[in-house]
Amino acid sequence: MLLAEGNKRFCFQHPNDFRKCIKVKKRRDGWEENLIEWFYLRSLSFKKYEVPCLVKCYGWVSTNIGYGVVFDKVVDEDGSDSLTLKKFIKEEYEKLSCETVLEMAEELKKHCLGYSIAVTEPNENNIMVRKEASGCKFVLIDGIGGREGVSIKNILYIIFSFYARRKTKKQFFRFEKKIKIWFDRG
Ligand SMILES: Nc1ncnc2c1ncn2[C@@H]1O[C@H](COP(=O)(O)OP(=O)(O)O)[C@@H](O)[C@H]1O
Ligand SMILES: [Mg+2]
C-alpha cells in the first residue's frame, strides 16, 4: 500500500509490520537518495548516536519494484499516521503562530547541531509532525547526509562534524526565512 510519494521515491507501508515503511526509487536516481540516507544513518549508529528527531533505518529489502530501504513509520502518540509539515500547516494554519513553528524548527536544529547531523534539505515535505500529549515535535525523514547524488561531500559530512554543522546552520537559516514567509512575516 502506497503511503505517500516524494520527487524521487515512493513510500510504502511495510507489508508485515504496520510500524514500518519501505522507500523505493521512483526516478532513476532515487536509489542514490536511499543509499545516501542509509549510509548516513548507518554511520550515526556506528558512532552509537541515537538521535530522537530522526527516523530509524533498518536496511535493504527486495520488493517487486526493486530494492528499498526500511524505516520506522512516523506516527503520533495515539498511533495514527503523522502528517508532513506541509499538511500540518495547511490543517492547523488558523491555530498556529509563526513563533510556534519557529520554536519547533529551533528544537530540531538544536538536536541536529548537538549530534552534528548534516541536514541538507529541511523543508515541509521532509519533516513530519509527531503529535504527542506534551506537544508537537518535528521528525526528519529525508534530506540528511547529502543531496543531489552521491559525492565526496557525503563522506565529508560524516568525518568532519564542523562541516556538517555549517551545512545545517545554513540550511536552517533558509528554512526559517521560509517559515516566516508562510506566515507573512518575510
Ligand atoms: N518514515 C516515514 N514515515 C511516514 N511517512 C513517510 C516516511 N518517510 C517518508 N514518508 C512520506 O513519503 C514522502 C516521500 O518521502 P521522502 O523520503 O521525502 O522521498 P523523496 O526522496 O522522494 O523526497 C514524504 O513526504 C512523506 O509523506
Ligand atoms: Mg523528500
Which grid cell sits at 51? 538521535
Residue 10 has pLDDT above 70, yes or no: yes
Is residue 186 scored above 80 in pLDDT?
Answer: no
pLDDT for residue 109: 98
- Residue-level pLDDT at 184: 87
Ligand 1: which atom is nearest the Cα of residue 7? 22
User: What distance in Å separates the CA atoms of residue 184 and residue 186, rounded to the nearest whole number?
Assistant: 6
Q: How far is the CA of 105 from the centre of ligand 2 (A)?
A: 17
Report the atom number in ligand 1 closest to the C-alpha of 73. Answer: 3
pLDDT exceeds cutoff 80 at 185: no
Within 10 angstroms of residue 149's Cβ, the number of other Cβ atoms is: 12
**Ligand 1 site, residue 70, Cβ cutoff 6 A:** no
C-alpha cell belonging to residue 118: 548534516
Q: Is 37 in the pocket of ligand 1 (CB under 6 A)?
A: no
Residue-level pLDDT at 49: 86
Please report the pLDDT score of residue 50 as a whole number.
87
Q: According to the model, what pLDDT value does residue 148 have?
A: 80
Mean pLDDT of the chain: 95
| Nearest ligand (C-alpha, residue 2) | 1
Nearest CA to ligand 1 atom 23: 6
pTM: 0.96
Q: What is the pLDDT of residues 42-97, one digit of tens each?
A: 999 998 888 999 999 999 999 999 999 999 999 999 999 999 999 999 999 999 99
Average pLDDT over every residue of 119-135: 97
Four-residue CA torsion sign, 97, 98, 100, 104: positive
Q: What is the mean pLDDT of residues 3-10?
A: 96
Can you tell me the distance from the alpha carbon of 41 to that of 46, in angstroms, rounded to the nearest whole number? 9
- The ligand whose atoms approach the alpha carbon of 86 most closely is 1
Contacts of 99 (CB under 8 A, 6+ apart): none
| CA dihedral over 176, 90, 136, 10, signed as positive or negative | negative
Provide the 8-state DSSP code for 84: E
Pairing of strands 127-132, 135-140: antiparallel
